[in-house]
Amino acid sequence: MSGRWQWLFFIPIFLLAVGVRLLAYSHFDYSLGTIDTPTYLQASEIKFPSVAFFTSPRSATIPLLYKL
């Protein structure tokens, strides 16, 4: 099968998967109000280049993104 025909099969399946994924969530704002959000915000208030930042109860990735 040529590359063009593969794309013709892939695109509708991809769009269907994206649609199902978007409809699976009830409301997009609910994911922001989870119980973890305040703890990540507290972890982002720690001074960045310090040991405490990397040894806080939360991983350093999301608090670092909040700092940026």
For residues 41-57, give the mean pLDDT.
81
Tell me the C-alpha distance between 36 and 20, whole Å.
Answer: 26
User: pTM for this structure?
Assistant: 0.43
Domain assignment of residue 34, given as a range: 3-67
Number of independent structural domains in the chain: 1
Contacts 24+ apart (CB under 8 A), 57-62: none
User: Could you read off the pLDDT of 6-43 as tens digits, one per residue?
Assistant: 778 889 999 999 888 878 776 666 666 567 777 788 88
